[in-house]
Chains A and B, each alone.
Chain A
């Protein structure tokens, strides 16, 4: 590859042409400070386009910094304009991979651009491992759409405030609904697992009941929770989860509530814990208890023994 070093007017480089650019979610402040103090140590790589303008291949952040700093010209490495776009993109990709790890949004950008040049089969086999990903088609399907999310969602992923998996699920919602639901997740600061639970439950409810997301998110019940001044953020989050779970699993939630009521009736005290089988599947109930003295043990055993005569418990075991 022939490279020619030229002093170029910054205005002759088309910074809006990001065909070969993969950087996302960066800050220029340190780079600008470095350029101010030391100058541009590595010249950016550009290619002459069809028009008179040069296209950015590598060094987008350096060029943006120079522009912000008001520089008018700088030395660039110029490659042959006959190099195919596909190969030009590979130069950019390998250059980036040689000195840093890409973030999830950048990986998604790369996959989207590779799709212009390669069939999925090749992307999965050759490029996913290069990006540190498992070479499975499902990985490609999962990651590729991330770059199409709204900017605030992409940024939330990079901040660790939005789970990638939940973000991908949000793509199943229309634009407005996606944003409303994202803002709910963001505001209530749910953990990654809980974000997924919320998105799954909302999706299942609207699919089953033919609700719209706005019907659900603007419902009075939810508004009351979100506007309750007596609840802090985690408490609101808990209430929202419980509200959605009641809608998604009405029978299961009712069974759980009935069971808890029955436990209260049994008056087992604090040292005895009676647990039903998970999801009431199977017939293995568990009783745990703690004691410190023989006298305490005798009292607990009497209480435990009474359980088997409790009609409500016997009936519950039969359901």
Chain B
């Protein structure tokens, strides 16, 4: 995958002396750069463009996060949620995935990195040190791809060592990229799970337009495994299409040919779901995509979801295939109902968000490589 290079850099004067600003400027000496007092004037103008997302993806904005860096994942009470915390260091992503919820979720179309990291670490300290009895699963890959800009930012070189020293937290870096050079240079990899979003090859090719191939992602995961990281995988969104069984089985075959199941902290599954407004966005921006034409119903959270029997069928088959490689894999469902959990796992061990959070905390997640060794 070609590494991301913006066509324009905007740096908020409030963070012009930050480490991330220096890293970006050192990495991209030839890219037109503007220093501004008020980036909102620029983002407002981009928002008014005919295709704000296209322009936004070519623009890299460094600014400060004036709010909270750490926030609970915006799950809904109607479905079982894993209790994840999002470390919001950046928003938006350059990878063009047709199904990406950020296309309608975020108000600002520009790739935005929050460079006031001193404040981020201060807030993390506040939460982690003041609540030593609580365990936190923290991820950076909800509102952006965790690694897509790491060659410019060097962000992981700061957060991975930080989390290695924490006893009550695990950091998940969730990505579709193979941008792992910085990660491979780090020595202490404890408490960091590097996770890949995977899909059937046909879906990756047609719907994840600028993402590396699935083989490249698995190769990158293998390198991280060899470097001592624990791994995660997310089959999310699982997409129903003619031949999905073969497509997903082939990916699992390729995944487990390279990856040691004992190095996998967790695997999640989530069938395609989207807010109603995303359908027209996908039709407009990805007219060749057919993913919105399957049988969807309005979920309890108002999102469009596959009709329940389709979801149950997909999860059940995937689980069966994965357990065929290793019966102890920790597999969970992202934002699913109790009924679906019960029918897929054929038990009622996970009947609430608390049950799932507890499972992820205690099984093998936060104990990292030392636990597995």
Tell me whether A and B are bound partners: yes
> In the complex, what residues of A have CB within 8 A of residue B298's CB?
278-279, 281
> In the complex, what residues of A have CB within 8 A of residue B78's CB?
282
Most buried by B among A207, A248, A250, A278: A207
**Cβ-defined contact, A208 with B294, below 8 A:** yes
**Cβ-defined contact, B308 with A281, below 8 A:** yes
Among B48, B292, B293, B338, the residue within 8 A (CB) of A124 is: B48
Whole-angstrom CA separation of A207 from B310 in the bound complex: 20
Q: A197 within 8 Å of B by Cβ?
A: no
Whole-angstrom CA separation of A207 from B287 in the bound complex: 10
Interface residues in B329-366 by Cβ distance below 8 A to A read 337-339, 343
Whole-angstrom CA separation of A255 from B308 in the bound complex: 11
Whole-angstrom CA separation of A196 from B308 in the bound complex: 25
Among B50, B309, B338, the residue within 8 A (CB) of A251 is: B309
Q: A183 within 8 Å of B by Cβ?
A: no
Decide yes or no: A120 and B50 within 8 Å by CB, A280-B297, A282-B300 being known contacts: yes
> In the complex, what residues of A have CB within 8 A of residue B212's CB?
none
Q: A249 within 8 Å of B by Cβ?
A: yes
**Cβ-defined contact, A279 with B297, below 8 A:** yes
> In the complex, what residues of A have CB within 8 A of residue B307's CB?
249, 251-252, 255, 279-280
Tell me the minimal C-beta distance from A40 to chain B in angstroms: 43
Tell me the minimal C-beta distance from A283 to chain B in angstroms: 5
Whole-angstrom CA separation of A319 from B311 in the bound complex: 11
Whole-angstrom CA separation of A281 from B303 in the bound complex: 12
Interface residues in B277-335 by Cβ distance below 8 A to A read 290, 292-295, 297-300, 305, 307-310
Whole-angstrom CA separation of A205 from B246 in the bound complex: 24
Tell me the minimal C-beta distance from B350 to chain A in angstroms: 15
Q: A137 within 8 Å of B by Cβ?
A: yes
**Cβ-defined contact, A204 with B308, below 8 A:** no
Whole-angstrom CA separation of A282 from B337 in the bound complex: 7
Whole-angstrom CA separation of A80 from B168 in the bound complex: 79
Tell me the minimal C-beta distance from A216 to chain B in angstroms: 14
Tell me the minimal C-beta distance from A145 to chain B in angstroms: 13
> In the complex, what residues of B have CB within 8 A of residue A252's CB?
295, 297, 307
Whole-angstrom CA separation of A204 from B294 in the bound complex: 9
Among B50, B294, B308, B343, the residue within 8 A (CB) of A280 is: B308
Interface residues in A194-250 by Cβ distance below 8 A to B read 204-205, 207-208, 248-250
**Cβ-defined contact, A208 with B308, below 8 A:** no
Tell me the minimal C-beta distance from A190 to chain B in angstroms: 21
Whole-angstrom CA separation of A176 from B368 in the bound complex: 62
**Cβ-defined contact, A281 with B48, below 8 A:** no
**Cβ-defined contact, A281 with B309, below 8 A:** no
Among A137, A204, A279, A282, the residue within 8 A (CB) of B293 is: A204
Tell me the minimal C-beta distance from B159 to chain A in angstroms: 37
> In the complex, what residues of B have CB within 8 A of residue A257's CB?
none
**Cβ-defined contact, A282 with B297, below 8 A:** no
Instruction: Tell me the dominant secondary structure on chain A's binding face.
Output: helix
Decide yes or no: A207 and B295 within 8 Å by CB, A120-B50, A255-B307 being known contacts: no
Whole-angstrom CA separation of A279 from B304 in the bound complex: 11
**Cβ-defined contact, A207 with B297, below 8 A:** no
Among B45, B292, B294, B300, the residue within 8 A (CB) of A281 is: B300
Instruction: Give how many A residues have a beta carbon under 8 Å from the other chain's beta carbons.
Output: 22
> In the complex, what residues of B have CB within 8 A of residue A120's CB?
48, 50
Whole-angstrom CA separation of A283 from B343 in the bound complex: 13
> In the complex, what residues of B have CB within 8 A of residue A137's CB?
48, 50
Produce 1/0 per residue, A91-135, CB < 8 A to B: 000000000000000000000000000001100100000000000
Decide yes or no: A121 and B48 within 8 Å by CB, A251-B310, A252-B307, A282-B337 being known contacts: yes
> In the complex, what residues of A have CB within 8 A of residue B50's CB?
120, 137
**Cβ-defined contact, B343 with A250, below 8 A:** no
Interface residues in B88-136 by Cβ distance below 8 A to A read none
Produce 1/0 per residue, A285-319, CB < 8 A to B: 00000000000000000000000000000000011
Tell me the minimal C-beta distance from A273 to chain B in angstroms: 21
Q: Which residue of B lies closest to A122 (CB)?
A: B48
**Cβ-defined contact, B48 with A207, below 8 A:** no
> In the complex, what residues of B have CB within 8 A of residue A205's CB?
293
Q: Which residue of A lies closest to B311 (CB)?
A: A281
Most buried by A among B295, B337, B338: B295
Q: Which residue of B lies closest to A207 (CB)?
A: B293
Tell me the minimal C-beta distance from B283 to chain A in angstroms: 8
Q: Which residue of B lies closest to A208 (CB)?
A: B293
Q: Which residue of B lies closest to A119 (CB)?
A: B48
Whole-angstrom CA separation of A6 from B324 in the bound complex: 92
Produce 1/0 per residue, A37-67, CB < 8 A to B: 0000000000000000000000000000000
> In the complex, what residues of B have CB within 8 A of residue A250's CB?
295
> In the complex, what residues of A have CB within 8 A of residue B310's CB?
251
> In the complex, what residues of B have CB within 8 A of residue A283's CB?
337-339
Interface residues in A169-199 by Cβ distance below 8 A to B read none
Interface residues in B184-235 by Cβ distance below 8 A to A read none
Produce 1/0 per residue, A139-158, CB < 8 A to B: 00000000000000000000
Whole-angstrom CA separation of A298 from B50 in the bound complex: 65
Most buried by A among B292, B297, B299, B337: B297
Tell me the minimal C-beta distance from B22 to chain A in angstroms: 34
Q: Which residue of A lies closest to B312 (CB)?
A: A319
> In the complex, what residues of A have CB within 8 A of residue B308's CB?
280-281, 319
Tell me the minimal C-beta distance from A242 to chain B in angstroms: 16
Tell me the minimal C-beta distance from B227 to chain A in angstroms: 43
Among A121, A208, A282, A319, the residue within 8 A (CB) of B309 is: A319
Tell me the minimal C-beta distance from B280 to chain A in angstroms: 9
Known contacts A278-B298, A281-B308; can you find 19 more A-B pairs with CB under 8 A? A121-B45, A124-B48, A137-B48, A137-B50, A248-B295, A249-B307, A251-B295, A251-B309, A251-B310, A255-B307, A280-B308, A281-B299, A281-B305, A282-B78, A282-B300, A282-B339, A283-B337, A283-B338, A283-B339
**3 closest A-B pairs (Cβ-Cβ)?**
A279-B297, A208-B293, A121-B48
CB pairs A–B below 8 angstroms (7 shown): A120-B48, A120-B50, A137-B48, A249-B295, A281-B299, A281-B305, A283-B337
